[in-house]
Amino acid sequence: MSDPIKIRAVHAADVTTVRVLMPHPMESGNRKDASGVLRPAHFITDVRITCDNVTVLEAAFGPAVSKDPNLSFKFRGGRSGSVIRVVWSDNKGATQRAEAVVAA
């Protein structure tokens, strides 16, 4: 997971729109490699997104979510200059964090 999380957050008309790209293989554990051996499951299980340390989204992912999940949502209460933080963890114990400032 060397690729960083990409976050775009924009505030307009009292609504903050957030788009997040989370690079991850999201392997279900049901696919086989070229030699016919099952690939081990490896997927994001939990995602938490905060705006200025207030949780605005919590999600539970599973093996059915596609590779490199792309998440988009809107919420009220943010503002330009707020800090959006994204943290995910996967079924192998890895975590990744990123943050971005909300643009106008």
Domain extents in the chain: 6-101
Whole-structure pTM value: 0.92
What is the C-alpha to C-alpha distance for residues 34 and 102, in angstroms, rounded to an integer? 44
Reference 25, options 6, 8, 7, 44; nearest CA is 44
pLDDT, position 12:
96
pLDDT band at 104 (very low <50, low <70, confident <90, very high): very high
Fold (topology level) of 6-101: Immunoglobulin-like (2.60.40)
Residue 22 Ramachandran class (φ > 0 left, ψ -120 to 50 alpha, else beta): beta
What length is written for the chain?
104
Which two tokens mark 18?
Answer: 């957030």
3-class secondary structure, 11: strand
Over residues 56-93, the pLDDT tens digits come to 999 999 999 999 999 999 999 899 999 999 999 999 99
For residue 19, the cross-strand partners are 8, 72
| 1 has pLDDT over 60 | no
What is the C-alpha to C-alpha distance for residues 38 and 69, in angstroms, rounded to an integer? 22
